[in-house]
Structure 1
Amino acid sequence: MKLLVIGSGGREHAIAKKFTESSLVETVYCAKGNIGMEKDGIQLVNIAENDHQALIHFAKSEEITWTFIGPEIALFEGLADAFEQAGLKVFGPSKKAADLECSKQFSKDLMKKYAIPTAAYEIFEDHDAALAYVEEQGVPIVIKADGLAAGKGVVVAMTLTEATNALSEMLVDGKYAAGKPKVVIEEYLEGEEFSLFALVNGSKYYYTGVAQDHKRAYDGDKGPNTGGMGAYSPVPQVSESLIQEVLETVIKPTVNAMVAEGRPFKGVIYAGLIMTKKGLRVIEFNARFGDPETQVILNQLDSDLAQIIDDILNEKDPDIKLHTDRYTLGVVVAAEGYPGKMVTDIPLPQLNVEGSGCTIYNAGMKKKKGSFVSDGGRILFVAAQGSTLQEAQDKAYLYLTDNPIAQTFYRFDIGEKAIQFTK
């Protein structure tokens, strides 16, 4: 098979690398990809993810077997629809199905209609009405921009000032808004957060693992929300019975609801979840693999990912096995200032992982005048495996300590809460 992956980040590096490990796969292309992928034999294609016709022409001319779409923006813009209309096989939801992620209002209304457990919420377009509601409800409270925000359009407001600022940014300034600004205001939930992933085709779904992401920029879950600063899998705090509860009360009714609504889903459903004192709740859905969760989830997969997706696309039940004897933990290395105004064009050394037990997934990286430099906020992801979470954490941080990169930062506590839980 010849496969094409759409996207350029660490998530797409992990997906494409996993495909290269399959005996069924001859060549893996990535559009646009990033320069760091080449070391793993991934062929870069210099076509932007929003250039649908050029991507379709490439897939046809190279006789691509099927295409995997990584980022949410490509799904939101209907790339899966364009490929299918051109007679090409693609793994990724249609634009209408991607509303499960791309429209917070659609997602929340769907959960309410089909009794899928989630936080109580109200939706506002008017700033003054939203502010009055927040003042009435009190803080803490959660404010979400309706639409795509690359994981950053959520404010967990612990003070009224934070809530007021968030409403002003989202509804007055139109930050994150593609059209008329809109926000979803939710009750604040406390509990253990985790993410569950499933590969889906219509009413059929296949469990692919759980992970825990670290969204805040700094240790101790301080600082602004980011696209993710690290992750680990599996999650010791999440029991097998809880996983089964999620599949029965969240994933199954959601995929059936999407069919009932005339928006059958094909691709990856990522459920962001929290176990509260009142029970399980859905925080959000994503219509694709998460970043950086993908980089740890796929390391836990003890099956051929290309075979799995090929089977799903051909209406066969795939054989999915997960490692039960190891953990994967990974840490994001980010540019100073991320997720705000950040340092750019940071010189990057050639990193060697031989003998370290680590894998590096590249994200924000490019070549400039013959040298590697940073290209964005999250630069790379260092993942390590271990028979315990502590062992995986030790390996990752030992590598980071031994290979410092100037003008970057990372969190020092990825997985720490889970490690304390297991002691």
Structure 2
Amino acid sequence: MGMKVLVIGSGAREHTIAHTLLQGSSVDEVIVAPGNPGMELDGIRTTKIDPSNHAALIDFVTRNAVDWVCVGPEVPLIQGIVDDFAAVGIKAFGPNKAAAQIEGSKDFAKQLMERHGIPTAAYHTFDDYDAAQLYVREQGAPIVIKADGLAAGKGVTVAMDEDTALAALGEIFLDHRFGNAGAKVVIEEYLEGQEFSLMSFVHGTEFWPMPISQDHKRAYDGDEGPNTGGMGAYSPVPQIGQDVIDTALETIVKPTVEAMSEEGNPFTGILYAGLIATADGPKVIEFNARFGDPETEVVLPKLSSDLGAAIQAILDGETPEFTWDDNRAALGVVLASDGYPNASVTGAHIPSLPADTSDLHVFYAGVDRDDDAQLVSSSGRVLVVTALAEDLQAAQHKAYEVLEEADTTGMFFRHDIGAKALQ
């Protein structure tokens, strides 16, 4: 008998995790809480339990003889769901509350990096609007403004001029756009270079890196428009050399997991390092305490080994096995609701898209069923079309062919995912 696993979350990332778990022989059944109706097209069960209702999740796991839990999103992790599971003897893959601070507070992460000499942008933290304004005027632009806490990927402003930076401070401190997440602000130097995402499976001081990917944060073509949770991604990233990746593992990932352990916050789960390849080597832009979204949708499809068996090994304190298909490229394009990331207009009908094959997957995020049981958009990011092929150009062509033939009325997508790799 294979294992039964509960995945917590509702987006395309969780759809990808569930789908990948079912590809392996060790897992027979995956249930996603709360999931979304698009996942059900893939034979994935969902259960409408709110991820913040820890008692209901514990009850579900106990009653349904679930072997272990994989936590997708950051909010439950930062709220201490892994601690609550551990308290009743349930195995969960993800960091506990203390370790999840690496994402929950940018100031916590910056101080950790400063103490351990981990390369990142120079920064100052402020809890006072006037002092922050003064600092921006002294430093000038370009400069980066970040709400300290969680803001669903939208709390960062890369300001190319002083006015934009000051407006961002006003949004955070005066308009309280990010609520408690904006009680403190981290202001960083602007770094030049190509960004890339390096995710690793971690257990204490041991880690197993995944292939790198590159996300596209801005809403519109040519990196225009506001920051989003991510509009698409691809892997590999040919313009980032293996030497840069090796340096990042040695100077960033290794010392970070060792520092967390040494300081009494050992990390188990996925450590996401958002990095930038500068002229002085790779530096940290941010850490996340879970799989990135939409990076997961292009990285996990390249896994050729059994994800469930590997996570089970990590939870048991054993050495996991990972093999990746390095001969294939993956590229994923996000279809988003009109108005995203500001005021998303939902309710658009989801077009009929090709069925999943070994080289094409549709991962659903913000979808629901209307009164006629048809799939409609229900939030900002609606779905991700991921294509695999022998190279990035072919993967790009395949993904866009699907979207350009579909009726995407009421929704939009970027037309240049992967362009930086193909220039």
Answer yes or no: is 1:382 the counterpart of 2:381: no
Q: With the length of structure 2 as denominator, give the TM-score of the two structures.
A: 0.97
| Rounded Cα–Cα distance in structure 1 between residues aligned with 2:314 and 2:307 | 11
| Rounded Cα–Cα distance in structure 2 between residues aligned with 1:350 and 1:410 | 16
Q: With the length of structure 1 as denominator, give the TM-score of the two structures.
A: 0.97
2:416 to 413, 417, 421: 413
Q: State the SS of the aligned residue for 1:130.
A: helix
Q: Name the structure 2 match of 1:348.
A: 350
Q: Name the structure 1 match of 2:58.
A: 56
| Rounded Cα–Cα distance in structure 2 between residues aligned with 1:200 and 1:108 | 20
* Amino acid in the other structure paired with 1:224: P
Q: Name the structure 1 match of 2:397.
A: 394
Q: Which residues of 2 match residues 194-213 of structure 1 at below 5 A?
A: 194-213=196-215
* Amino acid in the other structure paired with 1:134: V
Moved over 3 A (4+): 353-357
Q: Which residues of 2 match residues 12-411 of structure 1 at below 5 A?
A: 12-178=14-180, 181-353=183-355, 357-369=359-371, 370-411=373-414
Structure 2 gap ranges (5+):
none
Give deviations 1:336-379, integer Å, cap 9, x for gaps.
Answer: 11001121111223322367942100000001102211110100
| Rounded Cα–Cα distance in structure 2 between residues aligned with 1:209 and 1:149 | 26
Distance 1:323 1:355, change over 3 A: closer
Q: State the SS of the aligned residue for 1:323.
A: coil
Q: State the SS of the aligned residue for 2:97.
A: coil
* Amino acid in the other structure paired with 1:144: K
Q: State the SS of the aligned residue for 2:27.
A: coil
Mean alpha-carbon deviation: is it higher for 355-364 or for 42-51? 355-364
Contact 1:147/1:177 (CA < 8 Å) preserved in 2? no
Q: State the SS of the aligned residue for 2:180.
A: coil
Q: CA deviation at 1:205?
A: 0.6
Task: Compute the RMSD of aligned alpha carbons.
Answer: 1.2
Give deviations 1:401-420, integer Å, cap 9, x for gaps.
Answer: 11121111100000011012
Give deviations 1:225-277, integer Å, cap 9, x for gaps.
Answer: 00000000111112222221111111110001101111110100000001111
* Amino acid in the other structure paired with 1:348: I
Mean alpha-carbon deviation: is it higher for 284-293 or for 271-280? 271-280
Give deviations 1:199-248, integer Å, cap 9, x for gaps.
Answer: 00111111112100000000000000000000001111122222211111
Q: State the SS of the aligned residue for 1:40.
A: coil
| Rounded Cα–Cα distance in structure 1 between residues aligned with 2:410 and 2:304 | 36
> Between the two proteins, what is the percent identity of the paired residues?
52
Q: CA deviation at 1:291?
A: 0.5
* Amino acid in the other structure paired with 1:362: Y
Contact 2:396/2:417 (CA < 8 Å) preserved in 1? yes
Contact 1:357/1:395 (CA < 8 Å) preserved in 2? no
Q: State the SS of the aligned residue for 1:319.
A: coil
Contact 1:229/1:332 (CA < 8 Å) preserved in 2? yes
Contact 1:200/1:206 (CA < 8 Å) preserved in 2? yes
Structure 1 gap ranges (5+):
none
